Amino acid sequence: MELIDWNGRTVAAERSRSGVTALLDVSDNLIAVPSGSGDLPNEVRNRIAMSDRDDGFDSDEMARLSAGLGFYSDMQSLRCVDPATWSVFGTVAASGARERAFWVQELLGRIGLSYNPSEPVEVSLWKTLGRVGDVEGTLETDASVITRDAAVFFEASWFDPDNSGASGGDVRAKLRFLSSLSGGRMSKEEDRLVLVQLRLHGDSPLRPGKYDGVELRHMSWQYLVSLGSHPLYDEVNRYYDWKLGLLG
């Protein structure tokens, strides 16, 4: 089947008997960085892996979906959170320093943090945080914004109409892990650790507040894409509306 994407281009896709729409080409599920190279960003390439489910596609559909990569990847599905995460945060990370700084200023201002655009800032995706002190394991965050005075980590979910994501216990464990990064001593206003749960559906299992020195905040995707300072604001909003209309 063919779809018209958010920029009016025709793209090849398949829709399974269970209602999942997936694109034959992973790049058609992403907002492209205007580099002109046509290559997938390294961060995206590193996320591409063989899916452990068939999403209801029959053998012929799966063969077409697997033709490009040699396998079917979740990154091809419109229900996967990673393409949306890249298309908002990744495009900012790949933008110029000035554009990135003004977006970070607006984003952090929306959650009650201050940031001066003249200061350095890092926007990154899919960071794995290592073990600190007595805390075991690692923690992967979907996106992060690091300034001189604050570290803001985003946990993103996308298609979850039954609100079946992380439990309250899971969220508390992540908060404890982040607390270990500072020993739980984030008492100064200028030194803040924040975990933002970015959701499309439903409510978080844990209320916003401060847990072991880490602030928990909630944010909707609609609220995120409404940030007018995003360097690709118009396209991001077309992309968001396009994906919502096809989720099924």
Cα(221)–Cα(223) distance, integer angstroms: 5
Could you tell me the pTM of the whole model? 0.90
Pick the more confident residue, 81 or 203.
81
Neighbours of 87 (CB within 10 A): 24
Beta bridge pairs of residue 146: 122, 151
Q: Does 83 reside within a domain? A: no
Which of 15-24, 39-48, 180-189 is least confident? 180-189
What's the pLDDT score for residue 176?
87
pLDDT of residue 206: 83
Query: Is 50 exceeded by the pLDDT of residue 228?
Result: yes
Per-residue confidence at 230, pLDDT binned at 50, 70, 90?
A: very high
Q: Is the pLDDT of residue 49 over 90?
A: yes
Between 204 and 79, residue with greater pLDDT: 79
Q: Number of structural domains, the chain?
A: 2
The answer as to whether 245 is a domain residue is no
Are residues 146 and 189 located together in one domain of the fold?
A: yes
161 is a domain residue: yes
pLDDT category, 185, cuts 50, 70, 90? very low
Task: Say if 55 falls within a structural domain.
Answer: yes
Q: Are residues 38 and 131 in the same domain?
A: no
Q: Which two tokens stand for residue 205?
A: 């299992």
* Residues 41/171/241/58 CA torsion (nearest 10 deg): 70
| Residues 20 and 111 occupy one common structural domain | no
Whether residues 93 and 141 share a domain: the answer is yes
Which among 78, 100, 115 is the end of a domain?
Answer: 78
What integer pLDDT is reported at residue 188 of this predicted model? Answer: 47
Q: Identify whether residues 108 and 49 lie together within a single domain.
A: no
Q: Average pLDDT in the 107-116 region?
A: 93
State residue 129's pLDDT score: 87
pLDDT at 189: 46
Task: Give yes or no for residue 57 having a pLDDT over 70.
Answer: yes
Residues 105, 218, 102, CA angle at the centre, nearest 5°?
A: 10
Q: In the predicted model, is pLDDT for residue 107 greater than 80?
A: yes
Reported as a pLDDT band with limits 50, 70 and 90, residue 35 is: low
Q: Could you say which of 78, 101, 128 is where a domain stops?
A: 78
| Domain identity same for 105 and 181 | yes
Q: What is the mean pLDDT of residues 85-107?
A: 96
Res 7 pLDDT > 90: yes
What is the arithmetic mean of pLDDT over 69-98? 96
Computed over every residue of the chain, the mean pLDDT equals: 88
**Are 142 and 113 in the same domain?**
yes
Q: Output the 3-class SS for 158-223.
A: CCCCCCCCCCHHHHHHHHHHHHHCCCCCCCCCCCEEEEEEEECCCCCCCCCEEECCEEEEEEEHHH
Domain of residue 146, residue span: 89-225
Statement to judge: residues 146 and 127 lie in one domain: yes
Alpha helices in 78-210 (DSSP H): 81-85, 91-93, 97-110, 168-180
Tell me, what's the pLDDT at 5? 97
